[in-house]
Amino acid sequence: MSQGMRERFVRKARGCLAAAFFLAFGLGGLVIGCICFPLLAFFPQRWLRALVRASYRLFVWLARVTGLFRVALSPADRSRLAQTSGRIIVANHLTLIDIVILIAFLPDSTSIAKAAAKRNFFYSQIVRRVFLVNDDPARALDEAQRLLAQGVNIIVFPEGTRTPANAPTRKLRRGAAQIALHAGVSILPIRIDCDPPVLAKGQPWHDVADRTIVWTLRALDEIPVDRPPDGHGTHAAAVALTERIFGTLWA
């Protein structure tokens, strides 16, 4: 078999493996949302988050075992993430499964989700029951503050959508800064890198290269946040804090 034929075969085989993973992930979302969640209806919400986290950890473990992808973390960063509690987690957003990887490696966590995510056939129940849906900003701020006080981490992608690593410009949303200021909690930035690039915006999901994909997570310096007194100057503080997030993640 020639080198070119071998590479095409490996790519097709890995594409089939990726298809199996996405199918299992989608069906798993249906099972968790439509069967498991009703059985846990009277249990604390943290049990639901724990179930989702366990499924994401299984997904990541299976990907590593099969050679589809793996996640690289230094021992110090792994320990740091494991001890993170009641923080706003901000990260750059490169791929379709960034949220899966972050939740898998963080303790009790949730994320801000778009209102449109509630209509996803496979994940609607998980989004409705576990994530914070940003369809009512005032309610989302209060709910975020309540969860942070309980030690739950809240993951926010300031870009709002997937952005290529080499994008010339980025416009960050102020949601993460507003939540941090409203709750008076610190921000932990996490830098995500993916080699080779996969699952980017506009990139076919089956384009998973001919080698194991590596997601690298790096925990950066925590950004302390002081809550403005009586809400005065919140807008200016949110703008300044968002600029600091930008400078930290894309330094």
Q: What is the pTM of this model?
A: 0.93
CA 55 from centroid of its chain's CA atoms: 14
Mean pLDDT calculated for residue range 103-132:
90
* CA distances for 177 relative to 9, 237, 238, angstroms: 47, 8, 5
Please report, to the nearest 10 degrees, the dihedral formed by the alpha carbons of residues 120, 125, 129, 131 taken in order: -30
Q: What pLDDT, on the 0 to 100 scale, is given for residue 231?
A: 59
Buried b (16+ CB within 10 A) or exposed e, 127-165: bebbbbbbeeeeebbebbeebbeeebbbbbbbbbebbee
Q: What pLDDT, on the 0 to 100 scale, is given for residue 82?
A: 95
Q: What pLDDT, on the 0 to 100 scale, is given for residue 191?
A: 96
pLDDT in tens, 46-96: 999 999 999 999 999 999 999 999 999 999 999 999 999 999 999 999 999
Phi, psi of 74 (to 5 degrees): -70, 155
pLDDT at 1 > cutoff 60:
no
Choose the CATH number for 3-249 among 3.10.20, 3.40.1130, 1.10.540, 3.40.50.
3.40.1130
pLDDT in tens, 228-250: 776 556 888 999 999 999 999 98
Q: What pLDDT, on the 0 to 100 scale, is given for residue 167?
A: 78
Tokens of 133: 């849906």
SS3 category, 204: coil
Q: What pLDDT, on the 0 to 100 scale, is given for residue 8?
A: 80
pLDDT in tens, 141-199: 999 999 999 999 999 999 988 988 777 777 899 999 999 999 999 999 999 999 999 99
Calculate the average pLDDT of the chain: 90
Phi, psi of 218 (to 5 degrees): -130, 120
